[in-house]
Structure 1
Amino acid sequence: MFGSPVTVPSYSPHLRRSGSRPVFLDLGSSELGKSSEEHFQHQRELNEMKSGSLPLHATSLMPSPIFLWRFKVLLFLIWGFGCCKIGWDSVMRMSADLRDLFLYEAFLYYNPLLLVTLMVWLWGVNLWVFAQSTVNYAKIFDLDQDHLTHREIWKCATWMTIIVPTSMTAYLYLYSHGEVSLAASQPVLLYAAVVMILIFPFEIFYLSSRYYFLRTLWRIILPLQAITFSDFFLADILTSMAKVLSDLERSVCRMVNRQVATIAWFEADSVCGSHSITIPLVLVLPYMCRFFQCLRQYRDTKEKTTLLNALKYSTAVPVIFLSALKYHVFPDRWTNIYRPLWLLSSVINSLYSFYWDVTRDWDLSGFSRIFKFSKPHICSSLLYGRSWVYFWVIGSNLILRCTWTYKLSAHLRHNYITVFTIMALEILRRFQWIFFRVENEWNKMMKTSMELPMGDIPKEEEKLLGSSNHTV
């Protein structure tokens, strides 16, 4: 009757866990049982949930990290295929005579941000390799404890990879379907969003890292203080992004003059066209910033090598302005006088920059090693002590230095596919340059820290041992 034990069914809510022993309740003493057994069981479950150990049936419902990663990759591939398909169909809707101008204009707006996205991805790879090796990049760049790691850099690059091509696809689709005003708003909104994220003054979107980047840019433009490694390191990267800065200037010029989604800028008398004097000025700006940095370093250190480094950056100025003269002189005069001078200045700039990379920035006087890795890794087995790595880096650096003048020369920029490829290769060259440059700086820091002031040791010994003029 009422005092007999009753077995609770398996679907009863009193069964908290699957696989536990059967629970028996005495219905006659149920009030007393609930005040002790269930309270203890409930408290134990709350503690387990707080500690992170979930019941088996709850754990089985959660997807594994591998499944989530594969699902994200699948969504990314579907998104990429959709953007390519919509973009290709939109381009094919254009007439053949306007298609090239249409793509040229689209690349003008979006190739700067696409190349910046590529640079962010590669910078994350740089940090990842440094984290695997003994190179302490945080100490080299004087970063705080909250600096961005390679995972956070890759997260930013992932969002950039999604947002920029999506905006470009929307621009192509809207322009080809006659929605010119909506198409013109796409690059404007994208550039405005990038500026707002950079200057957003609240503690989101990595505030300290963003302000560190902006402060470094300000120190590059106005080198009023002593130059740090991060200052001229970022300035060197900006020299590789000179064409990106030039395209940014042309894009902003078009937005200000309301010439987006038109081909009026292609005319000779356009303020944003090929004849604009602003183009060579923006191209030469990173080199002049680096030039004044070298002069400031000479003022602080009195090292003559900084003057030679300043001379290296000054050799890029004739390349840029001689190329821009094509749009301001007669064709015969350009062909007979200025073009040979442009070729000569290009050769001098390429060879001088290549020599400085190998002997000064990398200090590859002897082919000994590339990195000292702190633990066994695939990078250590592929790169450690391999001579072919050095031959590859030196050979590819020489070839890509020779294409340096192509992206600096204004009269060669109308083939947008070739220019985009050359710019991407220049970013890859700078990416591999970073490895050797940062490691060389780390070696200098370690050498300086290990060198003891040996001249002070005898002085200390003389103080301790020299005063032995006493009698026993």
Structure 2
Amino acid sequence: MVSDMGLHLLQDWMGFSHENERGLARLVLTMMVWLWGVCLWVFSQSTINYAKIFDLDSNHLTHREIWKCSIWMTVIVPTSMTAYLYLYSHGEVALAASQPVILYVAVALVLIFPFDIFYFSSRYFLLRTLWRIALPLQPISFPDFFLADILTSMAKVFSDLERSVCRMVHRQVATIAWFEADSVCGSHSVAIPLVLVIPYIWRLLQCLRQYKDTKEKPTLFNALKYSTAVPVIFLSALKYHVSPDRWTYVYRRLWLFSSVVNSLYSFYWDITRDWDLSVFTRIFKFNKPSLCTNLFYGRRWVYFWVIGSNLILRCTWTYKLSAHLRHNYLTVFMVTALEMLRRFQWIFFRVENEWNKITKSGFQIPMVDMPREEEKLLGSTNHNV
């Protein structure tokens, strides 16, 4: 009886851990949508015309509509997790395993739904951008590499989703195989580092495509930045394929070195290229009006904060992406959530920098052509669910 009870508790723990892994990934996705709504709200209150930057049509989603989607996700995701745990705890393992599959299929169907409901134009814009990211056969636009950069921050989420789908396909939910590291979907799976590296490969290919089109050398240095993520991911995964001593004295040191290189390189690029802070001189010199930001109006503490926090959160990158550190679900969730916050503040300065480039190039928008979001909402009837 003791052995049966122990087996039952082990199966309960495996089932709950499986749902924690998958559910936390979905919570991070929900968090990212909420934060994107906040970004759009801030842009709508400033002089930054984000619709022009992203080349959006008049029917683009506003922050209010993004928040409506966020509310639905906030309701559906916890409900999905609760339904899984309820069915599993009552012995309905097959129904529990099929429940998340139904959710994923439903989301996919909503995205590809061909009729003009559920924000059709915005769904089409998103799918088209994702397609251009996966196959960079055309000249790269700002929305293409902007979304691709966001996807690099969500690499851990994609890896967790891959493991969840793998376990559901191979029916490893609530089985001993779920616990075995060398099972098809276990810790030794080569699919884990492959999924982690895909967003970085996409971004690297985009940079190479930009160099082909523009012949600008900085795009090659940007491609080099994304290439430094590859050794971090694969050296970390080697822990499950080499002896412990060889990992400790050889590959672990290489992993740490490659992690430091990538973190510092990415930090430098954020500051000098993505945000164009000109190696911090923008912080200390505000005597020229052209150096003031359109978004935060030259407040020095904002730049001190964003530079310091970006450096710290960049250093957590190794934990977020390392294949051999993924078993501490809550810690990984916290680190991934912090990465979402880092990307959230990155968006403000990246979009601001792009707007500054547009205005400096001589592009000017008359005030009559920049309607406030509230006016557009009152006059819009195309986005009805």
Alignment length, in residue pairs?
349
Indicate whether 1:431 and 2:344 are aligned: yes
Tell me: CA distance 1:152–1:302, structure 2 relative to 1, closer, same or farther (3 Å): same
Q: Could you report, residue by residue, the CA deviation over 1:34-83 in whole angstroms, capped at 9, with x for unpaired residues? A: xxxxxxxxxxxxxxxxxxxxxxxxxxxxxxxxxxxxxxxxxxxxxxxxxx
Cα deviation, residue 100, structure 1: 5.0
Q: Distance in 1 between matches of 2:328 and 2:9?
A: 16
Indicate whether 1:324 and 2:324 are aligned: no
Contact 2:14 2:178 in 1 (8 A): no
Q: Distance in 2 between matches of 1:251 and 1:215?
A: 26
Contact 1:171 1:186 in 2 (8 A): yes
Tell me: CA distance 1:141–1:263, structure 2 relative to 1, closer, same or farther (3 Å): farther
Aligned to 2:261: 348
Q: Distance in 2 between matches of 1:370 and 1:247?
A: 41
Indicate whether 1:315 and 2:228 are aligned: yes
Matches within 5 A, 1:215-294: 215-294=128-207
Q: Could you report, residue by residue, the CA deviation over 1:423-471 in whole angstroms, capped at 9, with x for unpaired residues? A: 00000100000000000000001111259xxxxxxxxxxxxxxxxxxxx
Tell me: CA distance 1:265–1:99, structure 2 relative to 1, closer, same or farther (3 Å): closer
* Length-normalised TM-score, structure 2: 0.87
Contact 2:14 2:174 in 1 (8 A): no
Cα deviation, residue 99, structure 1: 6.0
Cα deviation, residue 262, structure 1: 3.6
Instruction: Answer with 361-370 or 225-234: which moved more.
Output: 361-370
Aligned to 1:205: 118
Aligned to 1:389: 302
Matches within 5 A, 1:341-380: 341-365=254-278, 366-367=282-283, 368=286, 371-372=293-294
Tell me: CA distance 1:304–1:137, structure 2 relative to 1, closer, same or farther (3 Å): same
Contact 1:318 1:342 in 2 (8 A): yes
Contact 1:183 1:261 in 2 (8 A): no
Aligned CA-pair RMSD: 1.7
* Length-normalised TM-score, structure 1: 0.71
SS of 1:224's partner is coil
Aligned to 2:373: none
Contact 1:316 1:349 in 2 (8 A): yes
Cα deviation, residue 188, structure 1: 1.3
Cα deviation, residue 312, structure 1: 0.3
Whose radius of gyration is greater, 1 or 2?
Answer: 1
Letter in 2 for 1:257: H
Aligned to 2:31: 118
Identical-residue share of aligned pairs (%)? 76
Cα deviation, residue 228, structure 1: 0.2
Cα deviation, residue 131, structure 1: 0.3
Q: Distance in 2 between matches of 1:198 and 1:244?
A: 19
Letter in 1 for 2:234: F
Indicate whether 1:171 and 2:171 are aligned: no
Contact 1:266 1:274 in 2 (8 A): no
Q: Distance in 2 between matches of 1:159 and 1:95?
A: 35
Cα deviation, residue 181, structure 1: 2.0
SS of 2:362's partner is helix
Cα deviation, residue 96, structure 1: 6.6
Instruction: Answer with 442-451 or 430-439: which moved more.
Output: 442-451
Letter in 1 for 2:294: K
Q: Distance in 2 between matches of 1:110 and 1:355?
A: 34
Contact 2:166 2:185 in 1 (8 A): yes
Contact 2:11 2:175 in 1 (8 A): no
Aligned to 1:190: 103
SS of 2:358's partner is helix
Aligned to 1:415: 328
Matches within 5 A, 1:434-445: 434-445=347-358
Q: Could you report, residue by residue, the CA deviation over 1:115-162 in whole angstroms, capped at 9, with x for unpaired residues? A: 111000000000000000011111111111111000000000000000
Cα deviation, residue 97, structure 1: 5.5
SS of 1:232's partner is helix
Q: Distance in 1 between matches of 2:292 and 2:160?
A: 35
Q: Distance in 1 between matches of 2:141 and 2:50?
A: 14
Cα deviation, residue 241, structure 1: 0.3
Q: Distance in 2 between matches of 1:106 and 1:144?
A: 39
Letter in 2 for 1:170: A
Q: Distance in 1 between matches of 2:138 and 2:240?
A: 39
Letter in 2 for 1:171: Y
Contact 2:18 2:164 in 1 (8 A): no
Aligned to 2:22: 109
Contact 2:139 2:209 in 1 (8 A): yes
SS of 1:196's partner is helix
Contact 1:133 1:371 in 2 (8 A): no
Q: Any stretches of 5+ residues in structure 2 without a counterpart?
A: 1-6, 365-385
Cα deviation, residue 386, structure 1: 1.8
SS of 2:220's partner is helix
Q: Any stretches of 5+ residues in structure 1 without a counterpart?
A: 1-93, 374-382, 452-472
